[in-house]
Amino acid sequence: MRCPYCNQADSKVIDTNHDTRGGVRRRRECLSCGQRFSTYERAILATPLVIKQDGTREEFDREKLIRGIRISCAKRPVSAADIDRLVGEIEATLQTMGKAEVPSRVVGDMVMASLKELDHIAYIRYAIVYLGFEDLNSVRDEIDRLLEGG
């Protein structure tokens, strides 16, 4: 870490603090000019690539996922904050899986599981539009399961 005052590379750490979000703040003193400065380190978790149905890979697209869920939640009592939180949780789960890539179905299943908790109508809409239930009978079966509390 170069000193921001004199650009020399040597500094000593005089204080280290770990914050609650996994970051590390270090207070340093330049061995050349004696100025003090702070550095902040934070581990960056990688989100796996998403493998689409046709076998191609794409970056996990948080905004796209939010848009899709928003459409399913139209005129339902689900707030933008709920959707943000839901997508944030899915992204965090994907990151902690530690995989380079995951099938899009895995992401879809996570959305489904979360929407099922949040709002049944939004859940059914999402299932129909984004996962493409084969036919109306499958949709009816799913609705029956929900009505039975399963």
Catalog residues that contact Zn ion under the rule CB under 5 A. Answer: 3, 5-6, 30, 32-33
Q: State both tokens at 52.
A: 């689409």
How many other C-beta atoms are found inside a 10 Å radius of the C-beta of residue 149? 5
> Which lies closer to Zn ion via its Cβ, residue 10 or residue 101?
10
CB of 80 to Zn ion, least distance (A): 46
> Which lies closer to Zn ion via its Cβ, residue 5 or residue 40?
5
How many other C-beta atoms are found inside a 10 Å radius of the C-beta of residue 105? 14
> Which lies closer to Zn ion via its Cβ, residue 3 or residue 115?
3
Q: State both tokens at 123.
A: 């859940």
CB of 9 to Zn ion, least distance (A): 10
CB of 4 to Zn ion, least distance (A): 8
> Which lies closer to Zn ion via its Cβ, residue 17 or residue 32?
32
Judge whether 101 and 57 are in contact, CB under 8 Å: yes
CB of 24 to Zn ion, least distance (A): 21
Cα gap 3→38, rounded to integer Å = 10
Report the SS3 class of residue 28. Answer: strand
Cα gap 147→47, rounded to integer Å = 35
